Amino acid sequence: MGIVKSKFLKLNRLILFLALSATIITFINSFYSNYEVQKEQLIFQAIEVNRAYAQKLSDTTEVFISSSKQQLAYAANEVSSQMDNDAFLMDEANRLKYQTDSFNSVVISDALGRTQAASPETLDLVGKQLKSAGSKEALEEKKALISKPYVSTIQNLLVFISAPIFDKQHNYLGFLGGSIYLKSPNILNQILGEHYYKDGSYIYVVDKNRQILYHPQKERIGTFLNGNSGLDEIISKKEGGLLLKNSKGIEMLAGYSSIPSTDWIVITQSPLESTLLPLTGIMEKVILRTLPMASAVFLFIWLFARAISRPLQQLAERAKSLDSPTVTSDIESIDSWYVESFSLKKAMLSGVKLLHNQIGDLKRDADTDPLTGANNRRAFQYKLKQLALLETPFAILALDIDYFKRINDEYGHSVGDEVLKQQTQILQVFSRDGDLVARTGGEEFVLLLKDVTVEDAFIIAERLRVAIAEEAFETVGHVTASIGISAWTANSISIEKTLSLADQALYQAKKQGRNCCVMRSLEDVA
Ligand SMILES: Nc1nc2c(ncn2[C@@H]2O[C@H](COP(=O)(O)OP(=O)(O)OP(=O)(O)O)[C@@H](O)[C@H]2O)c(=O)[nH]1
């Protein structure tokens, strides 16, 4: 036999599916939110660290530039009264060059741009006309200056810091300037260059014209920065942090801060990818920590849902066997622990009670003769089958009222009905537990006697006959009846034959003049 697949899902599976999807969705959701929060946090922290670091470097550089400018201003003041003293000027130039690492070269120029002193002496500039952009700017502006980066006559990329020299009457006497070679070792790239991280982080410095003043890749110093997605924002805001794509298209988390006295901007940045590397480990931990709770939640939902579905399933199961004799106690034993299932259980119990009552009524109606209340032929046949199955011996008294037609004719049909009812009552008196009184035809009755031999049945039939004859029937007075008797035992004659014998005996009784009993036994068959 093939298994018939139902198109409906089982409640248990539905609940399992519901619990599982609820848990998975919650788990994914919490994992995703966690991931996003952690990612944001890491990005925010990296930008903030870079910003703070860029600020620290710009502050340090600012201090260095200010102190360089101060040194030059101080020296300019010193040399103002000694502009004719070449030895003094040379000493001063050397002192500025060698006392600190601030400058790669130092020059002292007169008001016409002729070099009065230069250090290191290898530059061989003394007496020569200065033509560099920084020198020209210093001569024109006659004030303290920091030049844009430019390439000097001896092919050094440099910035030039200068201080004007005035005499006491404030006549312009020339300038004193220090060069910082951007590609050579000096304090500036010591400050910036020591901070190069292995995780791909690096620092670079640009001016507001996008020219690179410092970069870990030396060859890029002096070039202009292109293709950096964040540079416009960096130049306009001067202070802050952002996610940008560098000139190679790599996503970088950058912090930046400008150096106020120069308008240079220090940018420190680290690759987004390496910043987010710890995320994998963090998320693994999140999963490991969330899993036990998620499993516990799943188990709880599942068990709880099962507890909800159990009474419904049990009720549904019982509903399949409402005809079972134990169905009421089976339903009563179901633990309906919440209101809805309890109401359902109550409704089912009422339904079962109603159903059983109706079945009882129908069964009674189907087995009963409506006029007399005695069993009908159908119930009689059923009883015969039962006794035969159980091999219980029995005797049959087939009874017919004598001249009943005359009663009907003389007193009317309804009086005849009353006689039939009274007759039934007399038969009931003779019927014990397990016996059966049935009306099998118009005025024909049967009394079925369990575990009774044909001889005993005859004695009972005689008593019955006498009882009927002595009964005072309403309106009609006395009535008699004829009785035919036969009996059945297992392994003897068939039931049909037994009935037929009783009928034959009754016929014989009628023939003998009525109001008598005739018995037919097995011997009569033989
Ligand atoms: N009042 C009434 N009469 C019925 C009912 N069923 C059958 N009868 C009548 O019962 C009578 C039976 O008559 P018969 O079979 O001739 O038998 P009888 O007159 O009793 O004569 P014997 O049996 O030979 O003694 C008929 O007149 C039927 O109409 C019933 O339910 N009520």
User: Using CB atoms within 10 A of its CB, is residue 363 exposed (0-12), middle (13-18) or buried (19+)?
Assistant: exposed
Rounded-to-integer distance, Cα 398 and Cα 144, Å: 148
Cβ count near 279 (within 10 Å):
15
Interior/surface letters 153-168, b for 16+ CB within 10 angstroms, e for the rest: eeebbbbbbbbbbbee
Q: What is the pLDDT of residue 2?
A: 39
Rounded-to-integer distance, Cα 23 and Cα 296, Å: 10
Interface pTM, i.e. ipTM: 0.96
**Is the Cβ–Cβ distance between 61 and 258 less than 8 Å?**
no
- Look-up: residue for tokens 């097995």? 522
Instruction: Give the DSSP letter string of 350-375.
Output: HHHHHHHHHHHHHHHHHHB-TTT-SB
DSSP one-letter code for 202: E
Rounded-to-integer distance, Cα 169 and Cα 171, Å: 6
417 ligand 1 Cβ < 6 A:
yes
509 ligand 1 Cβ < 6 A:
no
Tell me which residue of 133, 140, 216 sits closest to 179, measured CA to CA: 133
Residue 404 Cα to ligand 1 midpoint, Å, equals 5
The pair of three-digit structure tokens given for residue 520, joined into one six-digit string: 């037919």
Residue 401 Cα to ligand 1 midpoint, Å, equals 8
Q: What is the pLDDT of residue 3?
A: 42
Residue 357 Cα to ligand 1 midpoint, Å, equals 36
Interior/surface letters 1-23, b for 16+ CB within 10 angstroms, e for the rest: eeeeeeeeeebeeebbeebeeeb
Residue 443 Cα to ligand 1 midpoint, Å, equals 6
Residue 508: partners with Cβ closer than 8 Å, 6 or more residues away: 484, 518, 520
Greatest Cα-to-Cα distance within the chain, rounded to the nearest angstrom: 184
The pair of three-digit structure tokens given for residue 348, joined into one six-digit string: 């089912």
Options 62, 92, 137, 443, the catalytic residue:
443
442 ligand 1 Cβ < 6 A:
yes
Residue 405 Cα to ligand 1 midpoint, Å, equals 4
Q: What is the pLDDT of residue 176?
A: 97
Q: What is the pLDDT of residue 39?
A: 94
Give the closest residue (by CA) to ligand 1 atom 31. Answer: 442
pLDDT in tens, 349-370: 999 999 889 988 898 889 999 9
Tell me which residue of 344, 348, 381, 378 sits closest to 362, measured CA to CA: 378
N residues, the chain: 526
Give backbone dihedrals phi and psi of 144, rounded to 5 degrees, phi first. -65, 130
Interior/surface letters 392-406, b for 16+ CB within 10 angstroms, e for the rest: ebbbbbbbbbbebee
Give backbone dihedrals phi and psi of 99, rounded to 5 degrees, phi first. -65, -40
Alpha helices in 80-210 (DSSP H): 86-99, 133-141, 187-193
Q: What is the pLDDT of residue 411?
A: 96
Q: Which atom of ligand 1 is nearest to the CA of 409?
A: 27
- The stretches in the chain having pLDDT less than 50 are 1-4
Most informative mutation of 402, 443, 510 for ligand 1 (most atoms within 8 A of CB): 443
Rounded-to-integer distance, Cα 437 and Cα 520, Å: 20
510 ligand 1 Cβ < 6 A:
yes
Task: Tell me if residue 443 is catalytic.
Answer: yes
Strands 481-488 and 517-519: parallel
